[in-house]
């Protein structure tokens, strides 16, 4: 299957869990992969897996919270649902604080787990869509020439066209031409629309220079 196919990953050292959960997930038409330890999961999950992770807290070797930390370090953003046989509130708070969706106690309530899995998969889908939209926006930004970027930066700082012309020692007509090209390339009709597009992908227009700099990294 394609790597982008959403997968419910199960990491648990309990063979009963690894045999029962895939059957439960299959009833909802969900693809799953099971691993008995964190190390095997890390070796096989790939750099950008789609889906979510059902993760046991206590396992030999690397624990569930330790695996969560490793995923954060690797910038892998799989939503996590922790499973535990122990009602440890402090661990639950810490895990959720680091981005886990929920903390469920064993024995597993199948209906509740499926609700959490559905939520986790939706969160992952929305996150990936947002990443795609941000990438498309940044791709359009990178089509701007260096001079167009300079004009855009000055315009975004509130400087009018005549002042931009003086600052860059070019004619007013040239500045107007650059702005027209900027709008055409970015698919907007005004600076306000550009700011709205940037905000929709979580980019502050004041940070556009940082986006431009990444093109040269």
Q: Each residue of 72-114: pLDDT tens digit?
A: 999 999 999 998 876 566 666 677 778 888 888 888 899 999 9
Domain check: are 158 and 63 in the same one? Answer: no
Give the residue from 111, 131, 151 where a domain finishes.
131
Predicted local distance difference test score (pLDDT) of residue 55: 94
What integer pLDDT is reported at residue 94 of this predicted model?
72
| Residues 6 or more apart in contact with residue 152 via CB below 8 angstroms | 144, 182, 208
* pLDDT computed for residue 179 by the predictor: 95
pTM of the shown model: 0.77
- What pLDDT is stored for residue 2 in this prediction? 42
Q: What sign does the CA torsion over 40, 41, 42, 45 have?
A: positive
Q: Are residues 107 and 166 in the same domain?
A: no
Domain that holds residue 169: 142-214
Same domain, 149 and 120: no
CATH number for the domain that contains residue 160? 1.10.10.10
Q: Are residues 150 and 184 in the same domain?
A: yes
Q: Tens place of pLDDT for every residue, the chain, 217 residues? A: 344 689 999 999 999 999 999 999 999 999 999 999 999 999 999 888 999 999 998 899 999 999 999 999 999 999 999 988 765 666 666 777 788 888 888 888 999 999 999 999 999 999 999 999 888 988 998 899 999 988 998 888 889 999 999 999 999 999 999 999 999 999 999 988 998 888 888 887 777 766 665 544 4
Tell me the C-alpha distance between 137 and 17, whole Å.
Answer: 43
Q: What is the number of domains present in the chain? A: 2
Question: Which CATH number do you get for residue 72?
Answer: 3.40.50.2300
Could you tell me if 138 and 209 are in contact, meaning their C-beta atoms sit under 8 angstroms apart?
A: no
What would the pLDDT profile of 58-76 be if each residue is shown by its tens digit?
Answer: 899 999 999 999 999 999 9
The answer to whether 47 and 103 are in contact (CB under 8 A) is no
Burial 46-81 (b: 16+ CB within 10 A, else e): eeebbbbbbbbbbbeebbbbebbeebeeeebbbbbb
| pLDDT value at residue 87 | 58
Same-domain status, 110 and 18: yes
């Amino acid at each position: 299957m394609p790597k982008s196919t959403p997968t419910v990953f199960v990491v648990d050292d309990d063979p009963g869990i690894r045999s029962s959960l895939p059957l439960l997930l299959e009833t909802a038409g969900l693809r799953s992969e099971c691993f008995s330890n964190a190390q095997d999961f890390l070796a096989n999950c790939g750099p950008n897996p789609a889906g979510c992770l059902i993760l046991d807290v206590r396992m030999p070797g690397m624990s569930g919270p330790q695996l969560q930390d490793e995923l954060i370090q690797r910038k892998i953003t799989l939503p996590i649902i922790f499973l535990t046989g122990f009602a440890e509130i402090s661990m639950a708070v810490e895990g959720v604080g680091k981005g886990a969706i929920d903390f469920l106690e064993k024995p597993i309530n199948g209906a509740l787990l499926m609700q959490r899995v559905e939520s986790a998969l939706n969160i992952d889908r929305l996150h990936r869509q947002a990443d795609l939209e941000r990438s498309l926006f940044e791709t359009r930004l990178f089509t701007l020439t260096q001079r167009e970027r300079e004009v855009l930066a000055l315009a975004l700082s509130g400087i009018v066209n005549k002042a931009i012309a003086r600052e860059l020692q070019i004619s007013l007509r040239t500045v107007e031409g650059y702005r027209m090209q900027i709008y055409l390339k970015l698919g907007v009709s005004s600076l306000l629309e550009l700011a709205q597009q940037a905000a929709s992908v979580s980019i502050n227009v004041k940070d556009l220079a940082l986006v431009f700099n990444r093109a040269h990294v």
